[in-house]
């Protein structure tokens, strides 16, 4: 299926969504484009789309086996996967196990400080406002999500974080923090919340357990070099690195 013949439904910074082959489905296309600090820094990470497509498909499938409902349906090709169409809830859910990034900055906590328990933060998904940190009170007051949806997202976020922390630990990676997006899926059985978007080194912080080497998008955000290698390393440890990665990454 060529890209041109399909209707573009949405184009984001790192992904594009096209109309899917069946009603209620979308084709999620992973690009090599990377942005940071709300589009102020732009670049490409060669082969990232191929690798994130693999990593996200793999992790969403594992989560599905753990009875976490996700939008993922099936892989399509190197850069694309079929997903369920959902109405994205405009709230980014961040779970933190170790202080880093904006938490470290905001509260002056040294990066790498373990947190006594997983910390959940809500951010309003709004580029113009630079995705501000918000309280559940704001989410309810402005109707971005209902109370039962917030409870569900909170519960899923903790369960997913718990499962993924163990999965990454087994491959010598510490899950420092991670961002989730959820969506509403409407079917004959009513409305259900699904994990949507992607799970990848773009949307999490992953540190090598022994060396604390960063294996995630902070290598791009902070100009640390060896960006492609870090993404490949995560895919390799997960056992999902595409075989002829170099040839296919440019496809
Ligand atoms: P932060 O420390 O910059 O707030 O990021 C927390 C986590 O959320 C980190 O794993 C990266 C991820 N994240 C995104 O996926 N998208 C974003 O726009 C931002 C700011 C962070
Ligand atoms: N969402 C941020 C941006 O658009 C990227 C990030 O820092 O992860 O630039």
H/E stretch holding 160: helix 147-169
Residue 121 main-chain phi, psi, to 5 deg: -125, 150
Evaluate: CB of 101 within 6 angstroms of ligand 1: yes
pLDDT band at 33 (very low <50, low <70, confident <90, very high): very high
Verify whether ligand 2 is closer than 6 Å to residue 35 (CB atom).
yes
pLDDT > 50? residue 247: no
Nearest to 48 by CA among 244, 243, 227: 227
- Residue from 90, 94, 129 to probe ligand 1 pocket by mutation (most atoms less than 8 Å from CB): 94
Ligand 2: does its nearest atom lie under 6 Å from the Cβ of 171? Answer: no
Please, what CATH class does the domain formed by 88-208 belong to?
A: alpha beta
pLDDT at 2 over 60: no
State the DSSP H helix or E strand holding residue 39, giving kind and residue range, or none if neither: none
Neighbours of 39 (CB within 10 A): 10
Which of 12, 14, 33, 38 has most ligand 2 atoms within 8 Å of its beta carbon, as the pocket-test mutant? 38
DSSP result, 10-25: EE-SSEEEEE-SSTTE
Question: Which atom of ligand 2 lies closest to the CA of 40?
Answer: 9
The architecture that CATH gives domain 3-87+227-250 is 2-Layer Sandwich (3.30)
The pLDDT of residue 5: 74
Considering the chain, tell me which residue range(s) the CATH 3.30.470.20 domain(s) occupy: 88-208
User: Residue 157 CA: which ligand is closest?
Assistant: 1
CATH 3.30.200.20: which residues of the chain? Answer: 3-87+227-250
**Nearest CA-CA partner of 118 in 95, 137, 134:** 95
CA–centroid distance, 212 to ligand 1, in Å, is: 18
Q: How far is the CA of 135 from the centre of ligand 2 (A)?
A: 21
Phi, then psi, of 193 in degrees rounded to 5: -90, 135
Task: Identify the bridge partners of residue 226 per DSSP, sorted by sequence position.
Answer: none
CA atoms within 13 A on the CB side of 130: 5
92-150 pLDDT per residue, tens: 999 999 999 999 999 999 999 999 999 999 999 999 999 999 999 999 999 999 999 99
**pLDDT per residue as tens digits for the range 76-94:** 999 999 999 999 999 999 9
204 lines ligand 1 (CB under 6 A): yes
């Amino acid at each position: 299926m060529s890209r041109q013949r399909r209707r573009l439904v949405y184009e984001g910074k790192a992904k594009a969504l096209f109309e899917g082959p069946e009603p209620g489905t979308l084709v999620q296309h992973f690009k090599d484009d990377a942005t940071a600090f709300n589009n102020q820094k732009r670049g490409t990470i060669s082969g990232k789309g191929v690798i994130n497509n693999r990593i996200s498909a793999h992790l969403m499938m594992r989560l599905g086996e753990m009875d976490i409902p996700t939008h993922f349906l099936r892989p399509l090709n190197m850069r694309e996967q079929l997903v369920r169409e959902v109405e994205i809830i405009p709230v980014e859910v961040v779970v933190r196990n170790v202080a880093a990034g904006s938490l470290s900055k905001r509260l002056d906590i040294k990066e790498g400080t373990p947190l006594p328990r997983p910390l959940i933060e809500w951010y309003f998904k709004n580029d113009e406002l630079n995705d501000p940190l918000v309280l559940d009170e704001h989410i309810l007051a402005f109707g971005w999500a209902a109370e039962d949806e917030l409870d569900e997202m909170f519960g899923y976020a903790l369960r997913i974080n718990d499962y993924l922390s163990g999965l990454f630990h087994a491959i010598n990676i510490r899950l420092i923090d991670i961002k989730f997006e959820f969506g509403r899926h409407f079917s004959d059985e009513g409305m259900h919340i699904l994990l949507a978007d992607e799970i990848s080194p773009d949307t999490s912080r992953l540190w090598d357990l022994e060396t604390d080497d960063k294996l995630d998008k902070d290598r791009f955000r902070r100009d640390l070099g060896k960006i492609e290698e870090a993404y490949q390393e995560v895919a390799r440890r997960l056992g999902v690195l595409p075989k002829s990665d170099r040839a296919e990454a440019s496809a």
